[in-house]
Amino acid sequence: MFDYIKGKIVSKQNNVAGGAAFVIENNSIGYLVNTTGRAIAAAGHEGSDTKVYTTLIHREDAMILCGFLNREDRDIFNILMTVSGVGMKVALVLLDEFSGYDLISVVIRGDYKELSRAKGVGPKLAQKIILELKDKLINWQKNSPLDISDVADSEDVCDISSEALNEVQAVLLSLGYSVQEAKAAIKQACKITVKKDSPEDILKEALSCLSQD
């Protein structure tokens, strides 16, 4: 329903019973936006302007708005919510403990012990999250065939394997970026990345490039 909200930060709440939240005012309407302590810390001061990427959660007894300072975290939050056993609170806890990129990296590595660092996420749930999310992130191309030929032929990425490019593009597509956005970000990332044979390094730079757009 809402992709993002731009407005003034009226208040920031952190470490309270309901968790972290912004109140964002836009056109004389104050939106209560649930978020993470990480986002609260990175946001501007009260009275400053901000932009939050949002997701509306519709329940039988409530409508809850969650928001993040960048699109990447919002899209990862949405994917986390598709895992059985992961609700809004657990998804927010995970994105409070890990940055969006770090969370993806942990999932791709299959490091459930690292993932279980998050409060309330035990080893069993951590393994479940990795099992379901790794498939969603890396195997996206099974449902959406990828064409990275024009990227692979670029002079900037000629030393990168097609497998690595496919993996990075699959993750970007699963986060909701278009094929065109993914390809452009990968090309830009490969000009910056030193370890060009590492999908994780390329992904990190690609996400950084996309967050600046």
Tens of pLDDT, residues 46-66: 999 999 999 999 888 889 999
What number is the average pLDDT over the span 178-189?
84
Element (H, E) at 13: strand 4-13
pLDDT at 211 over 60: yes
Q: Are 23 and 47 in contact (CB under 8 A)?
A: no
CA distance 208 to 186: 11
Q: Which residues of 55-83 are buried (b: 16+ CB within 10 A; e: fewer)?
A: beeeeeeeeebbbbbbbbbbbbbebbeeb
- Where is average pLDDT lowest: 15-19, 102-106, 114-118, 199-203? 15-19
Question: What is the predicted pLDDT for the residue at 126?
Answer: 93
CATH of domain 74-136: 1.10.150.20
Q: Are 62 and 157 in contact (CB under 8 A)?
A: no
Which one-letter DSSP state was computed for residue 83? S
Each residue's pLDDT tens digit, 127-173: 999 988 887 776 544 444 455 555 555 555 546 677 777 778 888 88
Q: What are the φ and ψ backbone dihedral angles of 42, each rounded to 5 degrees? A: -85, -15
List the structure tokens of 84: 């059985």
Which one-letter DSSP state was computed for residue 65? E
The domain 4-68 belongs to what CATH superfamily? Answer: Nucleic acid-binding proteins (2.40.50.140)
Q: Are 55 and 66 in contact (CB under 8 A)?
A: yes
Whole-prediction pTM: 0.74
